[in-house]
A and B are shown apart, each in its own frame.
Chain A
Amino acid sequence: MPEGIKNKVAIIGMGCTKFGELWDKSPEDLMVDAFKEAIEDAGIEKKDIQAAWQGNQFTEVNIGHSALPLATTLKLPYIPVTRVENLCASGTEAIRAACYAVASGACDIALALGVEKVKDIGFGGLPRNNEDLMVLGTRGRVIFPNWVNPNPGMFAMMAIRYFDRYGLSIEEGKEALAKISVKSHHNGTLNPRAHLRREITVEDVLNAPMIAVPLGLFDSCGVSDGAAAAIVVRADMAKSFRPDPVYVKALQVAADSGESLLYTDYDYTHVETTNRAAIKAYQEAGVKNPREEISMMEVHDCFSITEMVTYEDLMISPRGKAKEDIDAGFFELDGKIPCQPDGGLKCFGHPIGASGLRMIYEMYKQLQGKAEKRQIKNPKLGLTHNLGGQPPLSVCSVCILGL
């Protein structure tokens, strides 16, 4: 195991726009809004930034290819700017690149910015993947079911397997999942920047229109526009900017090897990449017992079932026992490990490339005690989990942050 980047990099400033159907905002508006908040929060000027990374997935929707959209929108002064893309994990990939650059000594102050302007596509759901569907490359379009957007169905199939394996009827399974969404909706009402801000009941979830059997509308996250940004610096410089920087304890990514999709050993009741990235992240951060040591988390709840299996993949809940923790309120705002304190993808919204940085934004604010109505008491370690792709074909990033 390599030494890792624990405590080598600190976040000194962050920004995050309101997420939602921002019909009157351009991607440039979103980038400027997130950036402005981040540099003001860090107390730096634009000229201090030595390198930048832009995370976004859908170049098709008016952002465009390359990192020039970020460089030209912010008028960055001829520094290295790079676009990174790893599906829904693109935001975390942007900050990972920035952290590695700082940790390596290549630069001292770097910017990571994630942005997505999904709602310009003119229809519900995500933009079409066009010719380059997912990681199957060009032939994916010809051979994969629903090449336009297979995601809801691909996650739904995990719920079918999970229920089948653990002996839950569709009704029992759906009810456990419903509680996850009810919790996130409650948290969302406490967050002025969240996309969806209303309480819902278990009945609302169960009676909602079907999206992909067995998942309904309230099992699915919002599709939103938004941007989030972070300024990272060398850890030893951090306190010269602010008294309460947040340190990166671990940042790990795991990409699928093709096994889960093509090899019959995969059980489809978990996400292998989450588990692999989590094991490495805990090692890097020195976390021995995550259920006891992690104070709070923001996980990739694109669908309620994703959040449920993530509890287990992160080794917070034992395999097959997530339902017990859900029923016990373990993940609620006043529970042992609050999950999705800002509302999660479910309610804060999911502008793909911004989501990873949005999760980190919430952990950053919580660790600084600035999370207002949703402040968690004395958090020590916050975990973010950002998943791209689909359960059998995914890229997962896990980040652990602390003071």
Chain B
Amino acid sequence: MAEIGISDYSIYIPRYRLSRKTVSAAMGWLGPMALPGEKAVANHDEDSLTMAVAAGTDCLNGTGRAEIDGLYFASTTFPYRERQSAAIIATALDLSPNIRTADFADSLKAGTGAVLSAFDSVKAGGVRNILVCGSDYRLARPGSPQEMVFGDGAAAFLLGSSGVIASLEGSYSASYDFPDYRRSEDDKFVRTAEDRFIREEGYGRFIPEIISGLLKKYKLEAKDVTKVAYPCLNLRQHATIAKRLGLQPEQVQEPLFAAIGEAGVASPLMLLAAMLDEAKPGDKILIVSYGNGAEALLLKVTGEIEKIKNRGRLKKQLAYKRELTSYEKYLAFRDMIPVEVGVGGEVAPTQLPLTWRERKVILALYGSKCQHCGTPQYPPQRVCVNPACGAIDEMEEYRFSDKRGVLFSYTADYVASSIDPPLLFGMVDFDGGGRFVFELTDCDRDMLKVGMPVKMSFRRKYTDEPRGIHGYFWKAIPVVD
């Protein structure tokens, strides 16, 4: 039987960083301890679903969409309580509708759970590849210790049996109804038990237990593992756990705590991606998730890893960042303070039959390409827009979401209703043809130039609050690599 495991991976870190100093300057009077470093925070138009699409898009780079038979999405922060996020992500990624989709929810170890389930699905046969996306953007109450800790991010893995870069060699799980974190149906913020209780009885106990358990199960010793990664609540405790397990410092993956923070479900997955970025063939790597117990996966890196194009993304993404210097802006972005966006910002009722009928146009950025003259066009047309052609009904479907382009013109609109004025938008000329006007995000007014290279990014375009609908669409972002 062929090896089964990870055949590709990616990581997504949102562009904004909030320095923990900024948090303590704003909320220190309430008493949270100022921790070192910064945390990655989602832009105002991002959520766990959009970050999963970003990670998933990168992960699919090179793999044919037709070869994907399933999409599993793990998070604790879904845009909808009822309406499957995995199905939205699968549509945005333009996967076939005839695949398995599932959301893995409610625990910080849902991400490793999804990876294990994908592994088992492939192993059981009948499915070739499953894409697993893990993403989180948990909210902590302003002024709470968790506000210092929580960060946002996503990672994605392709599980399959061909081109395996890291085969799954084993796993070990423990589930306890440990009352550390909880959110009820209506909670916006994570509720927590006492810090010391979580640290000592939770992280301090389950992580060593699960690592020791796995090593014992597979008759290994700590020194047999090349690298281990596990979540971090604070750096001192992270080091203490390593010491307790007899791990040497070079065996322990830097927990990204000072650069990203604790990104919930995504944390162990991002750490796994970080390890794969640096791994060499033959390495044995161990990834641990924490949450209602813990879970550990043991992987063995293969020679295929050297063929992966996406390696080193973590460093690149860490480098492309912008500090969010205003704590108030952070609060506004995350809808933690009501701000005045004006009557013009009110949203008209979303037409659900329209969004269903046009789902590929909206969620997967499908246009059409004239088979007669070859002109790509967005949105899709039945009559060709090329004035020299004008062919009727000679179109084929054409996906723009993965096309790059250049900024043909741009503006910064100061009168548009926006949570982050000025609203940036521009006309994008796609490589290979096609043109449309898109909002621009993850960039600043002064970066905009005619001819600037851009690519597309799936974002939350509007929120139809009275009806509880999130309007997703694509925006243009600068190409940084």
Contact = CB atoms under 8 A, between A and B. Distances in A.
A156 B413 contact: yes
A316 interface: no
Where chain B touches its partner, the secondary structure class is: mixed
Interface string B459-474: 0010000000001010
A125 interface: yes
Interface string B31-62: 00000000000000000000000000000000
Given A125-B415, A268-B409, A157 B385 contact: no
B98 interface: no
B387 A257 contact: yes
Interface residues of A, number: 45
A36 interface: no
A212 B377 contact: no
A259 to B, nearest CB: 6
B358 A139 contact: yes
A172 B433 CA distance: 32
Most buried by B among A131, A136, A212: A212
Interface string B348-370: 11110011001001100000000
Interface stretch (A144-152, A292-300, A357-365): A144-152
Given A164-B450, A213-B445, A268-B408, A142 B413 contact: no
A360 to B, nearest CB: 29
A237 interface: no
Contact of A142 (B342, B358, B386, B433): B358
Nearest to B423: A146
B411 A139 contact: no
A211 interface: yes
Contacts of B117: none
B387 A261 contact: no
A36 B214 CA distance: 91
B412 A122 contact: no
Contacts of A144: 437
Contacts of B91: none
A139 B435 contact: no
B399 to A, nearest CB: 15
A258 B385 contact: yes
A128 B344 contact: yes
A135 to B, nearest CB: 12
B412 A131 contact: no
A130 interface: yes
A141 interface: yes
A363 B427 CA distance: 37
B422 A213 contact: yes
B361 A143 contact: yes
Contacts of B413: 146, 150, 152-153, 156, 211-213
Interface in B413-434: 413-418, 422-423, 425-427, 429, 433-434
Given A123-B344, A143-B361, A213-B422, A157 B381 contact: no
Interface string A256-280: 0111011111101000000000000
Contacts of B409: 157-158, 160-161, 164, 268
Contacts of B385: 257-259, 262-263
Contacts of A138: 351, 354
Given A130-B348, A148-B345, A212-B415, A154 B437 contact: yes
Interface in A305-340: none
Nearest to B427: A157
Contacts of B72: none
A209 interface: yes
A122 B410 contact: no
Nearest to B438: A145
A148 to B, nearest CB: 5
Contacts of A105: none
B312 interface: no
A124 interface: yes
Most buried by B among A125, A213, A258: A213
A211 B355 contact: no
B425 A153 contact: yes
A261 B379 contact: no
A106 interface: no
B411 A213 contact: yes
Nearest to A216: B414
Given A125-B344, A143-B361, A263 B412 contact: no
A210 interface: yes
B343 interface: yes
A143 B461 CA distance: 8
B212 interface: no
Contact of B361 (A130, A139, A146, A211): A139
A288 to B, nearest CB: 27
Given A146-B416, A146-B425, A210-B414, A263 B387 contact: yes
Given A148-B416, A212-B413, A262-B377, A160 B473 contact: no
B411 A263 contact: no
For this complex, into which size category does the number of interface residues on chain B fall? 35 or more
Contacts of B426: 157
A262 B429 CA distance: 9
Interface string A365-401: 0000000000000000000000000001000000000
Nearest to B448: A213
A20 B346 CA distance: 26
B361 to A, nearest CB: 7
B173 interface: no
Nearest to B386: A263
Contacts of A209: 414
Contacts of B351: 131, 138
Nearest to B437: A145
Contacts of A149: 344, 415-416
B178 interface: no
Contacts of A122: 343
Nearest to B418: A146
B72 to A, nearest CB: 27
A153 B423 contact: yes
Given A123-B343, A123-B344, A213-B411, A142 B362 contact: yes
A142 B414 contact: no
A160 B408 CA distance: 9
A125 B415 CA distance: 8
Interface in A152-200: 152-154, 156-158, 160-161, 164
Nearest to B390: A257
Interface in B314-353: 342-346, 348-351
B257 interface: no
Contacts of B197: none
B445 A268 contact: no
Nearest to A142: B362
B436 interface: yes
Nearest to A126: B344
A142 B473 contact: yes
B254 interface: no
B375 interface: yes
A148 B417 contact: yes
A264 B378 CA distance: 11
A214 to B, nearest CB: 8
Contacts of A121: 343
A265 B373 CA distance: 14
20 contacts: A122-B343, A128-B344, A138-B354, A139-B354, A142-B350, A142-B355, A145-B423, A145-B425, A149-B415, A150-B413, A152-B413, A152-B416, A156-B413, A210-B412, A258-B385, A261-B436, A262-B377, A262-B434, A264-B429, A265-B387
List 6 tightest A-B contacts by C-beta distance, closest first.
A145-B425, A157-B409, A156-B411, A153-B413, A213-B412, A153-B411
Given A139-B354, A263-B385, 13 more contacts: A122-B343, A128-B344, A143-B362, A146-B413, A146-B425, A148-B417, A212-B413, A212-B415, A259-B386, A262-B436, A264-B435, A268-B409, A392-B427
Interface of A: 121-125, 128, 130-131, 136, 138-139, 141-146, 148-150, 152-154, 156-158, 160-161, 164, 209-213, 257-259, 261-266, 268, 392
